[in-house]
A and B are shown apart, each in its own frame.
Chain A
């Protein structure tokens, strides 16, 4: 204080003022004094802070304070409650505010919401305080929509099995799931709280690669996870840096694989459009049958990205992706794949004779019967220019890219020569992973023996030991006898069964299976019928209508979940018995591969979902389906086959039916939803994925222009990718209709990419900061930045314009729907569901509104999570068919294709899009960073 008192005897602060000891004496330790005092009264400071309400009430009994009136800090946006009795916003997201308590009604366990870690199409992830465990957890709060609910159950069942059956010791770097329950009609899944993801790690390193020792460390850990998945017969289907998270405060750095929302069992590879684009394997891209090997491809891409700091194959489109693969790897997919893959003609032209092909594969170098299309050829075929992304690497080939990557500064010659050796090992390692031929691609076991991983000196190209042949459990047919449901042939339902071990003659494994499975399931069909009819269904799954499969699957594990569900009565639409019926119906459809329509599937290219092939008319059948249709012979079945909706939840079905069935003419429907479906189906029939791509491209291109900074890799990813993925979604209205939505995405993007440097700006001399050195020295830094980044990314959740349009149109639809009259199944759904959310119309609009959820998402997405058009996911729902209820069997039990019914885009993919780590570190010391960097968006301005 400048007025520092003159009376002070001239003492000025700064000069060493010291108390003079007038009234104070020297400090004496009072050893004998009791250290604990009996507190008679609370200190006044407590009575006027912590206990002020009580104090004031003593002073004045009329004093009233209501915590309810406190301004709330909402974490969910929009925070206006319009659905689910005001608990949900327009997106069916539970409106979260700080200190909201999520209660597991069965165990009374309470989770206090503290922060939002991320959100996506599936719902939200909140950081919650678990008072009982005295720790933070990550709680995924699924949207109050059946599709997402179902989808989330897949993750629950797969993860539970992985955790409990395969990895009890938690040594395989797979995220732990703690429990799940239904709260306010939302499925809530509790996971261990983790930290930032690897994309963020790279990002805070300014997109410079991580040190080789870290790459090696992470590679080893990811491989442990992948080995486990392989053993369990699980395909993650969305492996990417964003889905690999650092564990909190563990040194040396430890990571875990998260997000099993897109995962499937190896015998249930029902979706053909999976994996985020940059990490998409050639077989998936080409529409060929796939196995756990696709995760190894993604793994290779991740390893390369960790080292390079940028994605290895940042394809702006599938064409671009394939082009990059071919160029960088100097090879192309083997002819046997090209011959069978359903999308081959989109990217390749046949230049050789088919006979040559039959005689064995010929790869690379002109002897192949296939030649990749040039851009011009592609454009001629597709009538659209392929979107081509920016090139980040000066060198074309993998080996050059890796070996010429700038070394860190200040390395001694010796270190450089050491590292150059390791880089050679890395190149060899990568070559075994990003191998075009899925059959030659290394397994996790093989890869884990590579010198790059083991640290042994690398001397010559690695020859992997032969993979131990395993008899996939899934091959065993499992007959599950469930009291309520009769016999279900889980395996029989698996679409991929035969296709898995050999290359099928049919392109589509799904179809192949059809006759197969059906035969089996047929027998059980009868039981289904009975199942349906039996309203009471003592069966545990009974309550989950659409979840028949899912539940069954799961029920053993978490009876509580189910029960709760039932109790709440609310549950996602599935809760009504009737709904069940509906489902069953569908599944039957599936089961009955026999249906006439099945025939048409055979010739279909693999990967395309059956639904795509179903003529609209079949929908009509479905819709018209009367209860009688539930019977095995019902015509509805055939429709089911075809129905893309298979995957959709009941609500969806409903909508669909409306659109198709009732109106008979999808196109004529003005409802937005019909629009997308329409699009979906229509394209589906002929070109499947291809159809979507154009959209992607289109949107991407829109996007790019708006993005001045498009140069940065990040942007690329975020921007175009995002737009692409979204637009690709069948469900997403925005892709179909709106420019606005897209524009918005583009708009948001800049924000995301704020801090992303253009790769061109790299300082080759930059010395890698050893972000994660085993000693963790820089960890705090990282953390800080992370949180910063997170904040940025979490910043907005804007609603897409498109959404609104939709919604409104949706409402306009309502009358029409009503006229149509509720389908039986549907009406069931209605029963017991809250009027608002479960009403048919409501459901309708909900779907429509989906796009909007996506939007915010999109904008915040980080690059890689883009393009994943889960188109087909929808379609396959019906494959789901009743599956065994056995828990733990999920290997066998087809992960109900129905699981994925969820969203337009696989929830999994979207889950962490925002670039938000699961766990944000709240408590970590952040040194060296100015406080400002820890900014948080924790307060809202009220006035």
Chain B
């Protein structure tokens, strides 16, 4: 193991580690604030907001910036408007998904619940949200995805559902905005589909996993070059790179992980770079050729980082493009790239 992965709170010039009392999964970065969600096998889970100080390379915890969360949050995300600001003193809106979509107001010294957005018709049953995405261009818009096969678009200012679509034939696992009205989603049905809210009658299948019904777990749309997106298959070591102009056939498959890939993130400052993390404890940064066509031997990562254990989460925030955040075990680690 490399030095940077050894211990929590171990500081080096290039990485910072935060150790939490519980296993971590969800993570969001906003300026210097980082929200981290627990993965506890209990109804009561926890979200902590810590702050990262690049100058001192330290992470500060704030006991007051912490709240209970029902179930492990499947995703955390700060309001894209505020996350672009670099101040940590402003109030930030934080969204979390789990049983429902919840909004939280993160202040200087406290966090207040703002809303619970629940579109369920049944009080007895609940279809959990597997993920959501906040529209950067239209920040009042949040799209959620659920195992009930739908995607729901919320107008969070009004607290109402803009639309709900039966997006897939099976559970929807991730959703990602491309434009103000265009989003994509992945599903247990093995497909990547693009939706345009202006034409709700049609979607476009960008990709279908070779073996039907192999779930696609995560989706990342390259914000620097919307022609490209990346997805990962369940139990697969591949990162599948797609060009939406040529549906169905991936333009490249990155297969150097030695275990399944758990998360992917495009570099916020480059259209060619993507990071992936997996159960092999590795974080890889890939530099894609342009166009991203793989040679006969495939593509090797340009660099790698080994963590102490399976890496579950990855965030590469535009607010901190020099720092990658990964989560493994009960640690959150910031890696300078």
Q: Hey, which bits of chain A sit against chain B, CB under 8 A? A: 1, 3-5, 7-9, 11-14, 16-30, 33, 35, 37, 39, 43-50, 52-53, 55-56, 58-60, 63-67, 69-73, 98-99, 114, 129, 791, 922-927, 929-932, 934-943
Inter-chain CA distance A145–B237, complex, in Å, is: 51
Measured CB to CB, the closest approach of chain A to B31, in angstroms, equals: 10
In the complex, which residue of chain A has the Cβ closest to the Cβ of B197? A941
Bitwise, B305-337 to A at CB < 8 A (1) or not (0) is 100001011000011111010000000000111
| Residue B173 interfacial (CB < 8 Å) | yes
In the complex, which residue of chain A has the Cβ closest to the Cβ of B119? A943
Contact between A17 and B318, CB atoms less than 8 A apart = no
The contact of A23 among B15, B39, B218, by CB within 8 Å, is B15
| Residue B170 interfacial (CB < 8 Å) | yes
B39 cross-chain contacts in A, Cβ below 8 A: 44, 47-48
Contact between A56 and B215, CB atoms less than 8 A apart = no
Inter-chain CA distance A98–B245, complex, in Å, is: 27
Inter-chain CA distance A680–B47, complex, in Å, is: 75
The contact of B148 among A44, A71, A114, by CB within 8 Å, is A71
Measured CB to CB, the closest approach of chain B to A537, in angstroms, equals: 44
Contact between A18 and B258, CB atoms less than 8 A apart = no
A16 cross-chain contacts in B, Cβ below 8 A: 270
Contact between A49 and B84, CB atoms less than 8 A apart = no
Per DSSP, chain A at the interface is: loop
| Residue B302 interfacial (CB < 8 Å) | yes
Contact between A64 and B72, CB atoms less than 8 A apart = no
Contact between B165 and A5, CB atoms less than 8 A apart = no
Contact between B194 and A931, CB atoms less than 8 A apart = yes
Contact between A44 and B262, CB atoms less than 8 A apart = yes
B14 cross-chain contacts in A, Cβ below 8 A: 22-23
Contact between A931 and B247, CB atoms less than 8 A apart = yes
Q: A4-B321, A24-B305 are in contact. List 14 more A-B contacts (CB 8 A).
A: A8-B269, A13-B271, A29-B300, A35-B258, A59-B42, A59-B71, A65-B127, A65-B147, A70-B127, A129-B212, A927-B249, A932-B202, A934-B247, A942-B165
| Residue B130 interfacial (CB < 8 Å) | yes
Inter-chain CA distance A63–B212, complex, in Å, is: 29
Contact between A69 and B248, CB atoms less than 8 A apart = no
B6 cross-chain contacts in A, Cβ below 8 A: none
Q: Hey, which bits of chain B sit against chain A, CB under 8 A? A: 2, 4, 12-15, 23, 25, 39-43, 45, 54, 71-72, 74, 84, 86, 99, 119, 121-122, 124-128, 130-131, 147-150, 152, 161-171, 173-174, 188, 193-195, 199-206, 208, 212-213, 215, 217-218, 223-224, 234-235, 244-249, 256, 258-260, 262-263, 267-271, 273, 279-280, 283-285, 287, 300-305, 310, 312-313, 318-322, 324, 335-337
Measured CB to CB, the closest approach of chain B to A397, in angstroms, equals: 45
Contact between B166 and A43, CB atoms less than 8 A apart = no
Do A43 and B194 contact each other (CB < 8 Å), given the known contacts A8-B269, A23-B305, A25-B304?
Answer: no
In the complex, which residue of chain B has the Cβ closest to the Cβ of A40? B310
Contact between A27 and B217, CB atoms less than 8 A apart = no
B119 cross-chain contacts in A, Cβ below 8 A: 943
Contact between B248 and A49, CB atoms less than 8 A apart = no
Contact between B319 and A3, CB atoms less than 8 A apart = yes
- 5 contacting pairs across A/B (C-beta < 8 A): A71-B149, A939-B203, A942-B163, A943-B119, A943-B162
Measured CB to CB, the closest approach of chain B to A534, in angstroms, equals: 49
Inter-chain CA distance A8–B267, complex, in Å, is: 13
In the complex, which residue of chain A has the Cβ closest to the Cβ of B328? A44
Do A50 and B246 contact each other (CB < 8 Å), given the known contacts A23-B4, A24-B337, A71-B166?
Answer: no
Contact between B148 and A931, CB atoms less than 8 A apart = no
Measured CB to CB, the closest approach of chain A to B28, in angstroms, equals: 15
Do A935 and B300 contact each other (CB < 8 Å), given the known contacts A4-B318, A46-B234?
Answer: no
Measured CB to CB, the closest approach of chain A to B172, in angstroms, equals: 9
A1 cross-chain contacts in B, Cβ below 8 A: 84, 223-224, 268-269, 318, 321
In the complex, which residue of chain A has the Cβ closest to the Cβ of B304? A27
A52 cross-chain contacts in B, Cβ below 8 A: 74, 128, 130, 147
Contact between B165 and A941, CB atoms less than 8 A apart = yes
Per DSSP, chain B at the interface is: loop
Contact between A44 and B217, CB atoms less than 8 A apart = no
Inter-chain CA distance A923–B211, complex, in Å, is: 11
Q: Which of B125, B246, B303 has the most CB of A within 10 A?
A: B303
In the complex, which residue of chain B has the Cβ closest to the Cβ of A923? B208
Contact between A939 and B195, CB atoms less than 8 A apart = yes
Measured CB to CB, the closest approach of chain A to B175, in angstroms, equals: 12
Measured CB to CB, the closest approach of chain A to B164, in angstroms, equals: 4
Measured CB to CB, the closest approach of chain B to A603, in angstroms, equals: 57
In the complex, which residue of chain B has the Cβ closest to the Cβ of A61? B43
Contact between B285 and A3, CB atoms less than 8 A apart = no
In the complex, which residue of chain B has the Cβ closest to the Cβ of A2? B84
4 residue pairs, one from A and one from B, having the closest CB atoms: A935-B202, A1-B318, A24-B303, A22-B14
Inter-chain CA distance A5–B323, complex, in Å, is: 11
Contact between A927 and B246, CB atoms less than 8 A apart = yes
Contact between B337 and A22, CB atoms less than 8 A apart = yes
B162 cross-chain contacts in A, Cβ below 8 A: 943
Measured CB to CB, the closest approach of chain A to B166, in angstroms, equals: 5
Inter-chain CA distance A73–B25, complex, in Å, is: 33
B167 cross-chain contacts in A, Cβ below 8 A: 939
B121 cross-chain contacts in A, Cβ below 8 A: 69
Measured CB to CB, the closest approach of chain A to B256, in angstroms, equals: 7
Q: Which of A13, A24, A129, A925 has the most CB of B within 10 A?
A: A24
Inter-chain CA distance A656–B234, complex, in Å, is: 59
A73 cross-chain contacts in B, Cβ below 8 A: 149, 166, 169
The contact of B258 among A37, A925, A938, by CB within 8 Å, is A37
A922 cross-chain contacts in B, Cβ below 8 A: 205, 208
Do A30 and B258 contact each other (CB < 8 Å), given the known contacts A3-B84, A44-B39, A46-B234?
Answer: yes
Inter-chain CA distance A27–B284, complex, in Å, is: 8
Inter-chain CA distance A249–B135, complex, in Å, is: 40
The contact of B302 among A13, A19, A55, by CB within 8 Å, is A19
Inter-chain CA distance A553–B122, complex, in Å, is: 52
Contact between A63 and B126, CB atoms less than 8 A apart = yes
Inter-chain CA distance A938–B217, complex, in Å, is: 20
A69 cross-chain contacts in B, Cβ below 8 A: 121-122, 125, 127, 148
Contact between A55 and B41, CB atoms less than 8 A apart = yes
Contact between B247 and A19, CB atoms less than 8 A apart = no
Inter-chain CA distance A925–B206, complex, in Å, is: 10
Contact between B319 and A43, CB atoms less than 8 A apart = no
Contact between B263 and A24, CB atoms less than 8 A apart = no
Measured CB to CB, the closest approach of chain B to A151, in angstroms, equals: 31
The contact of A936 among B74, B126, B203, B283, by CB within 8 Å, is B203
Inter-chain CA distance A754–B322, complex, in Å, is: 52
Contact between B127 and A26, CB atoms less than 8 A apart = no
Inter-chain CA distance A532–B246, complex, in Å, is: 64
The contact of A71 among B125, B131, B150, by CB within 8 Å, is B150
Contact between A65 and B206, CB atoms less than 8 A apart = no
In the complex, which residue of chain A has the Cβ closest to the Cβ of B235? A46
Measured CB to CB, the closest approach of chain B to A297, in angstroms, equals: 40
Measured CB to CB, the closest approach of chain B to A689, in angstroms, equals: 41
Contact between A49 and B303, CB atoms less than 8 A apart = no
A39 cross-chain contacts in B, Cβ below 8 A: 279
Contact between A17 and B267, CB atoms less than 8 A apart = yes
Contact between A56 and B71, CB atoms less than 8 A apart = yes
B217 cross-chain contacts in A, Cβ below 8 A: 45-46, 49-50
Inter-chain CA distance A478–B252, complex, in Å, is: 64
Measured CB to CB, the closest approach of chain A to B145, in angstroms, equals: 10
Measured CB to CB, the closest approach of chain B to A779, in angstroms, equals: 13
Contact between A11 and B262, CB atoms less than 8 A apart = no
Contact between A70 and B148, CB atoms less than 8 A apart = yes
Inter-chain CA distance A239–B321, complex, in Å, is: 64
A30 cross-chain contacts in B, Cβ below 8 A: 258
Inter-chain CA distance A938–B151, complex, in Å, is: 13
Measured CB to CB, the closest approach of chain B to A780, in angstroms, equals: 9
Inter-chain CA distance A45–B74, complex, in Å, is: 8
Inter-chain CA distance A19–B14, complex, in Å, is: 12
Inter-chain CA distance A197–B15, complex, in Å, is: 61
The contact of B130 among A8, A37, A49, A791, by CB within 8 Å, is A49
Contact between A931 and B206, CB atoms less than 8 A apart = yes
